[in-house]
Protein backbone atom coordinates (compact mmCIF):
# COMPACT_ATOMS: atom_id res chain seq x y z
CA UNK A 1 0.00 0.00 0.00
CA UNK A 2 1.23 3.44 -0.97
CA UNK A 3 -0.68 5.85 1.15
CA UNK A 4 0.74 7.71 4.14
CA UNK A 5 -1.17 7.78 7.43
CA UNK A 6 -1.09 11.05 9.36
CA UNK A 7 -1.94 10.70 13.05
CA UNK A 8 -2.74 14.05 14.71
CA UNK A 9 -2.06 14.36 18.43
CA UNK A 10 -1.94 18.13 18.94
CA UNK A 11 1.09 19.87 20.35
CA UNK A 12 2.16 23.43 19.59
CA UNK A 13 1.59 22.52 15.92
CA UNK A 14 -2.15 22.93 16.46
CA UNK A 15 -2.46 25.38 19.37
CA UNK A 16 -4.58 28.51 19.02
CA UNK A 17 -4.77 31.81 20.87
CA UNK A 18 -7.86 32.28 23.03
CA UNK A 19 -8.63 35.97 22.91
CA UNK A 20 -11.02 35.82 25.86
CA UNK A 21 -8.53 34.26 28.28
CA UNK A 22 -5.23 35.31 26.70
CA UNK A 23 -4.01 31.70 26.82
CA UNK A 24 -3.45 28.94 24.26
CA UNK A 25 -5.85 26.11 23.60
CA UNK A 26 -6.92 23.52 21.04
CA UNK A 27 -9.84 23.82 18.71
CA UNK A 28 -9.70 22.03 15.36
CA UNK A 29 -6.59 20.76 13.68
CA UNK A 30 -5.03 22.98 11.00
CA UNK A 31 -3.55 20.01 9.19
CA UNK A 32 -6.11 19.96 6.37
CA UNK A 33 -5.57 23.66 5.74
CA UNK A 34 -1.79 23.18 5.70
CA UNK A 35 -2.00 20.31 3.20
CA UNK A 36 -4.23 22.48 1.02
CA UNK A 37 -1.77 25.36 1.22
CA UNK A 38 1.15 23.05 0.38
CA UNK A 39 -0.94 21.71 -2.53
CA UNK A 40 -0.13 18.20 -1.42
CA UNK A 41 -1.34 15.54 -3.87
CA UNK A 42 -0.14 12.63 -1.77
CA UNK A 43 -2.47 9.75 -1.02
CA UNK A 44 -3.15 10.43 2.64
CA UNK A 45 -5.23 8.84 5.38
CA UNK A 46 -5.67 11.45 8.13
CA UNK A 47 -6.62 10.52 11.68
CA UNK A 48 -7.23 13.24 14.29
CA UNK A 49 -6.53 11.09 17.35
CA UNK A 50 -6.21 13.63 20.19
CA UNK A 51 -5.41 17.29 20.77
CA UNK A 52 -3.02 17.47 23.68
CA UNK A 53 0.08 19.28 24.86
CA UNK A 54 2.68 16.52 25.03
CA UNK A 55 3.58 17.59 28.57
CA UNK A 56 0.08 16.40 29.50
CA UNK A 57 0.56 13.00 27.89
CA UNK A 58 0.63 9.90 30.01
CA UNK A 59 1.37 6.27 29.09
CA UNK A 60 -2.24 5.72 28.09
CA UNK A 61 -2.03 8.47 25.46
CA UNK A 62 1.21 7.11 24.06
CA UNK A 63 -0.11 3.56 23.85
CA UNK A 64 -3.15 4.82 22.02
CA UNK A 65 -0.77 6.30 19.43
CA UNK A 66 1.18 3.02 19.27
CA UNK A 67 -2.03 1.04 18.81
CA UNK A 68 -3.08 3.26 15.92
CA UNK A 69 0.32 2.82 14.27
CA UNK A 70 -0.04 -0.95 14.46
CA UNK A 71 -3.62 -1.14 13.27
CA UNK A 72 -3.36 0.98 10.14
CA UNK A 73 -2.74 -0.72 6.78
CA UNK A 74 -0.40 2.10 5.82
CA UNK A 75 3.33 1.28 5.86
CA UNK A 76 4.32 4.93 6.26
CA UNK A 77 3.15 7.09 9.13
CA UNK A 78 3.61 10.72 10.14
CA UNK A 79 2.60 11.69 13.67
CA UNK A 80 2.12 15.37 14.58
CA UNK A 81 3.12 15.64 18.23
CA UNK A 82 4.12 18.14 20.88
CA UNK A 83 7.89 18.64 20.81
CA UNK A 84 8.40 18.38 24.57
CA UNK A 85 7.95 14.63 24.89
CA UNK A 86 8.18 13.60 21.25
CA UNK A 87 11.38 11.64 21.91
CA UNK A 88 9.62 9.70 24.67
CA UNK A 89 6.80 8.57 22.39
CA UNK A 90 9.37 7.70 19.70
CA UNK A 91 11.25 5.43 22.15
CA UNK A 92 8.08 3.57 23.17
CA UNK A 93 7.17 3.13 19.49
CA UNK A 94 10.60 1.77 18.64
CA UNK A 95 10.29 -0.93 21.33
CA UNK A 96 7.27 -2.31 19.50
CA UNK A 97 9.36 -3.08 16.40
CA UNK A 98 6.58 -2.15 14.03
CA UNK A 99 7.50 -2.89 10.40
CA UNK A 100 6.75 0.62 9.24
CA UNK A 101 8.41 3.96 8.62
CA UNK A 102 7.21 6.23 11.40
CA UNK A 103 8.08 9.94 11.50
CA UNK A 104 7.23 12.17 14.44
CA UNK A 105 7.13 15.91 13.80
CA UNK A 106 5.77 19.06 15.39
CA UNK A 107 6.29 22.81 15.54
CA UNK A 108 7.97 25.33 17.81
CA UNK A 109 5.43 28.06 16.89
CA UNK A 110 1.71 27.38 16.47
CA UNK A 111 0.76 27.22 12.81
CA UNK A 112 -1.95 29.80 13.38
CA UNK A 113 0.57 32.43 14.44
CA UNK A 114 2.23 33.03 11.12
CA UNK A 115 6.02 32.76 11.41
CA UNK A 116 5.50 29.03 12.08
CA UNK A 117 7.81 26.16 11.21
CA UNK A 118 4.78 23.86 10.98
CA UNK A 119 4.33 23.94 7.21
CA UNK A 120 8.04 23.41 6.58
CA UNK A 121 8.14 20.47 9.02
CA UNK A 122 5.05 18.94 7.45
CA UNK A 123 6.75 19.01 4.03
CA UNK A 124 9.93 17.49 5.48
CA UNK A 125 8.22 14.72 7.43
CA UNK A 126 5.97 13.64 4.55
CA UNK A 127 9.06 13.44 2.33
CA UNK A 128 11.01 11.44 4.91
CA UNK A 129 8.02 9.09 5.32
CA UNK A 130 8.27 8.29 1.62
CA UNK A 131 12.00 7.64 1.52
CA UNK A 132 13.34 6.45 4.88
CA UNK A 133 13.54 2.72 5.60
CA UNK A 134 11.50 1.02 8.30
CA UNK A 135 12.16 2.59 11.68
CA UNK A 136 11.14 5.40 14.03
CA UNK A 137 12.40 8.93 13.41
CA UNK A 138 12.03 12.51 14.58
CA UNK A 139 11.80 15.17 11.86
CA UNK A 140 12.50 18.74 13.04
CA UNK A 141 14.65 21.66 11.88
CA UNK A 142 14.77 20.21 8.36
CA UNK A 143 16.60 17.09 9.53
CA UNK A 144 15.70 13.54 10.50
CA UNK A 145 17.00 11.79 13.59
CA UNK A 146 16.90 8.13 14.59
CA UNK A 147 14.70 7.73 17.64
CA UNK A 148 17.69 6.72 19.79
CA UNK A 149 19.99 9.52 18.74
CA UNK A 150 18.07 12.68 19.44
CA UNK A 151 17.07 15.04 22.19
CA UNK A 152 15.27 18.37 22.37
CA UNK A 153 17.62 21.10 23.50
CA UNK A 154 15.11 23.12 25.48
CA UNK A 155 17.36 26.12 26.05
CA UNK A 156 17.63 26.87 22.33
CA UNK A 157 14.44 25.13 21.18
CA UNK A 158 16.13 22.79 18.71
CA UNK A 159 16.55 19.10 18.18
CA UNK A 160 20.05 17.66 18.06
CA UNK A 161 21.90 14.35 17.91
CA UNK A 162 23.06 12.75 21.13
CA UNK A 163 26.34 11.67 19.60
- Residue range at the interface with a copy of itself (CB under 8 A); choices 56-64, 67-75, 92-100, 128-136: 128-136
Restricting to residues 54-113, name those near a copy of itself by CB under 8 A: 108-110, 112-113
Least Å from the CB of residue 67 to a copy of itself = 27
Sign of CA dihedral 87, 146, 144, 132: negative
Q: Give 116-123's long-range contacts (Cβ < 8 A, gap of 24+).
A: 117/141, 118/13, 118/30, 118/34, 119/34, 119/37, 119/38, 121/13, 122/31, 122/34, 122/35, 122/38, 122/78, 122/80, 123/38
Least Å from the CB of residue 133 to a copy of itself = 9
Separation between Cα atoms, residue 99 and residue 16, nearest integer Å: 35
- Residue range at the interface with a copy of itself (CB under 8 A); choices 57-65, 68-76, 86-94, 118-126: 118-126
* Residue 158 makes contact with a copy of itself by CB under 8 A: yes
Q: Which residues of this chain interact with a copy of itself, rule CB under 8 A? A: 12, 17, 19-20, 22, 24, 34-35, 37-42, 108-110, 112-117, 119-128, 130-132, 139-144, 154-160
Amino acid sequence: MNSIKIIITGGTFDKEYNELTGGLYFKDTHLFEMLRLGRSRLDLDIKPLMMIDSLQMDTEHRYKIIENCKNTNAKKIVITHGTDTMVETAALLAKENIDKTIILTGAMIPYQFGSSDGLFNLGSSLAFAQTLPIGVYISMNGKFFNWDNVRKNTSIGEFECLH
